[in-house]
Amino acid sequence: MNEVKRPQKSLIYFYVIMLMLMLVFNSLIAPMLSKQEIKEVDYGTFMTMTENKQIKSVQIQENQILFTSKDGDTIYRTGIMNDPDLVNRLHESGAEFTSKIVEQMSPLASFLLSWVLPIVIFIVLGQYLSKKMMDKAGGGPGSMIFNMGKSNARVYVKSSDGISFADVEGVDEAEENLQEIVDYLHDPSKYQEIGASMPKGVLLVGPPGTGKTMLAKAVAGEANVPFFSMSGSEFVEMFVGMGASKVRDLFSQAKEKAPCIVFIDEIDAIGQKRNSGNIGGNDEREQTLNQLLTEMDGFEGNSGVIILAATNRPESLDPALTRPGRFDRRVPVELPDIKGREAILRVHAKKIKVEDNIDYYAIAKMASGASGAELANIVNEAALRAVRDGRKAASQTDFEESIEVVIAGYQKKNSILRDDEKKKVAYHEIGHALVAAKQTDSAPVQKITIIPRTSGALGYTLQVDDGDRYLMSKEELENKIATLAGGRAAEEIVFGSVSTGASNDIEQATRLARAMVTRYGMSDDFDMVALETVQNQYLGGDTSLACSAETQAKVDEKVIEIVKAQHEKALKILTENRDKLDELAQHLYEKENITGEEFMEILNGEK
């Protein structure tokens, strides 16, 4: 889509030019049109110039004498003295008598010429320029001075390289929902014949980076209609009423260019739930929301204007905004599954040079839980790594390393661990991997490393599931907690003490155990009682307890009980396999990186 550029210079730019022209007119032109400058001199100077025959012309009035010199055009003025021989001396000096030396302008005419006329010209040209700018920008009677009340919506038209549904992968269900909108914009008559009407608004919800904005542009590209794009925060202004005016202006432009699509990104900036806690009336955001509600509900069914909006905080939106008749349809844009990730990787890989033997399915498995934006970043990181190594195309290793960069950061090549720390990190990571391998239903180990990363990790164990998992049993969650406890357990068995290296493992294990009790109903003491609610599902999933202090204390006891049980389980597994623990840790200590295949060969005694 190509953006339609709007006038960049505001009306104040032309007003400044007009003001400067008026000042130039008053300082340079007006004095030339008004009376000529007159210089005051005393009578003695007049007599001296008369005797020296320097006077060219003279005019004698009732109370003053005006004269000019032969050397220039300056007009002189002096008072009249009692001088009977004055006329004779002037005749002898050769001065010419005239009835008018200068045509003096009246004070009223001078004022009109110097100030009133420029101001009239200033106002007339200002009104003309204002009308021209409003016509070009699509404004109307509701537009305000200096474009304060105009919307900042960017208007796009279809271009040869515009985005279509073929450029968006991994969100097939969302595409199917939006394809109906495109079909309606192409041929609304078949829907009108049966009496059906399209949704007035479509709300795209999902985590960040899943392609909500790209989907909206793809709809506009497929429909071949004008596309208005504006962020929710652009409606928010310092002055009360400006946001509402921008909403009116945006919808006015949309109606003129119908059929078209209006896309409001991050609509939660103006669409949050209203409350009665404000003192002294509604604030600016609420007035903007009220205007948006009015404009959306005022559309006719056949107006041809479709409103698309995107947010990753749908729970914060006002119910009046999400009710049928406004945003009728809610389209989830979730994280892609393994097939979707593979398709997204292939789309972005077309933009770079890659080797022929790339296994995109294996890369998609390793990138479990990644969004479309993260997958695009992985492809770009692979290309950058190939350039750093002096190669012309990205390889499978580049893609795998780029996933590790996104997960754990770059390798800290200048960070050298002490020998005892390196050995402790090796046992810690092998503890994780060994506990995972000795349990059923655990994800296979893909890679183990003890090279420090920029994220702060001194090492990590990468586990990759064979496919996407949508459900996890109680036993699987317990196994995961035991795997997290494996690193600390290995340190206790081998060194007889613990270190700070397990801090992240402890946080994850505690979070899982608490979720088992408060959200998943996996505790006999509380059964199927929800003790915790999830907030901001798509933005980190923060939780808040919804129970009494006494119940919370019991929850804490149950969480501690679960974690301790799995910690003891990890200690038991590692104690029973102490030989393999030492052998694997020594191998990792020497090589610093080992693959999952190497790990399993040593564990099974094949190497």
The CATH number of the domain holding residue 85 is 3.30.720.210
Angstrom distance (rounded) from CA 244 to CA 148: 11
Q: At residue 301, does pLDDT exceed 80?
A: no
| Residue located via tokens 């155990």 | 513
Q: Do 350 and 290 belong together in one domain?
A: no
pLDDT at 110: 62
Enumerate the active-site residues. Answer: 429
Q: Residue 250 is encoded by which pair of tokens?
A: 């945006």
Answer whether residue 46 is part of any domain.
yes
Q: At residue 139, does pLDDT exceed 50?
A: no
Nearest alpha-carbon partner for 555 in 490, 586, 510, 598:
510
Q: Do 564 and 586 belong together in one domain?
A: yes
Q: Of 387, 408, 429, which closes a domain?
A: 408
Cβ–Cβ under 8 Å, residues 156 and 220: yes
Angstrom distance (rounded) from CA 346 to CA 33: 77
Answer whether residue 494 is part of any domain.
yes
Q: Residue 120 is encoded by which pair of tokens?
A: 């009239």
Q: Residue 133 is encoded by which pair of tokens?
A: 């700018």
Contacts of residue 117, defined as CB under 8 A and 6 or more positions apart, other chains included, come to none
Range of the domain at 580: 419-603
pLDDT at 592: 87
Q: Do 185 and 323 belong together in one domain?
A: yes
Three-class secondary structure of residue 445 per DSSP: strand
Angstrom distance (rounded) from CA 448 to CA 374: 22
Angstrom distance (rounded) from CA 236 to CA 272: 13
Q: Of 332, 350, 365, which closes a domain?
A: 332
Q: Do 324 and 397 belong together in one domain?
A: no
**Average pLDDT of the residues in 165-173:** 84
Q: Do 354 and 390 belong together in one domain?
A: yes
Angstrom distance (rounded) from CA 551 to CA 94: 121
Q: At residue 157, does pLDDT exceed 50?
A: yes
Nearest alpha-carbon partner for 335 in 427, 208, 235, 203:
208
Answer whether residue 549 is part of any domain.
yes
Q: Do 290 and 390 belong together in one domain?
A: no
Mean residue pLDDT across the chain = 80
**Average pLDDT of the residues in 399-425:** 81
533 - beta bridge partners?
544
The CATH number of the domain holding residue 393 is 1.10.8.60
Q: Answer with the residue of higher pLDDT: 577 or 86.
A: 577
Angstrom distance (rounded) from CA 222 to CA 574: 58
**Average pLDDT of the residues in 304-319:** 88
**Average pLDDT of the residues in 467-475:** 84
Q: What is the pLDDT of residues 68-109, one digit of tens each?
A: 887 766 787 887 777 777 777 777 777 777 656 655 555 666
**Average pLDDT of the residues in 6-29:** 63
Q: Of 301, 332, 363, which closes a domain?
A: 332
539 phi/psi in degrees, rounded to 5: -125, 60
Answer whether residue 197 is part of any domain.
yes
Give the rounded distance of the alpha carbon of 117 from its chain centre: 49
Q: Do 160 and 280 belong together in one domain?
A: yes
Q: What is the pLDDT of residues 532-572, one digit of tens each?
A: 888 777 777 777 788 888 999 999 999 999 999 999 999 99
Q: At residue 7, does pLDDT exceed 70?
A: no
Answer whether residue 361 is part of any domain.
yes
Q: What is the length of the chain?
A: 607
Among 119-133, 330-344, 516-530, the least confident range: 119-133
Q: Dihedral of the CA atoms 340, 343, 345, 347 (nearest 10)?
A: -130
580-589 burial, b if ≥16 CB within 10 A, otherwise e?
bbebbbebbb
Which residue blocks in 138-283 are alpha helix, DSSP H?
172-186, 189-194, 212-223, 242-256, 268-271
Cβ–Cβ under 8 Å, residues 55 and 68: yes
Angstrom distance (rounded) from CA 374 to CA 402: 11
The 3 state secondary structure assigned to 43-63 is HHHHHHHHHCCCEEEEEECCC
Model confidence band, residue 140 (pLDDT cutoffs 50, 70, 90): very low
Q: Do 327 and 355 belong together in one domain?
A: no
Q: Do 92 and 169 belong together in one domain?
A: no
Q: Residue 350 is encoded by which pair of tokens?
A: 């077309």
Model confidence band, residue 159 (pLDDT cutoffs 50, 70, 90): very low
- Split into its structural domains, the chain has a count of 5
Answer whether residue 427 is part of any domain.
yes
pLDDT at 270: 87
pLDDT at 564: 96
DSSP assignment of 108-156 equals: HHHHIIIIIHHHHHHHHHHHHHHHHHHHHHT--TT--GGGTTS--PEEE
Answer whether residue 85 is part of any domain.
yes
Q: Do 540 and 574 belong together in one domain?
A: yes
**Average pLDDT of the residues in 103-125:** 66
pLDDT at 524: 87
Among 151-160, 172-181, 326-335, the least confident range: 151-160
Among 46-60, 94-108, 406-420, 504-518, the least confident range: 94-108
In percent, the amount of the chain with pLDDT more than 70 equals 81
pLDDT at 494: 93
Q: Do 255 and 403 belong together in one domain?
A: no
Contacts of residue 226, defined as CB under 8 A and 6 or more positions apart, other chains included, come to 155, 156, 157, 220, 257, 260, 261
Among 207-216, 219-228, 474-483, the least confident range: 219-228
Answer whether residue 148 is part of any domain.
no
- How far, in Å, are 405, 413, 427, 451 from residue 458 at the CA level? 14, 12, 12, 6
Q: At residue 281, does pLDDT exceed 60?
A: no
The CATH number of the domain holding residue 207 is 3.40.50.300
**Average pLDDT of the residues in 292-317:** 79
Q: Do 79 and 123 belong together in one domain?
A: no
Q: At residue 237, does pLDDT exceed 60?
A: yes
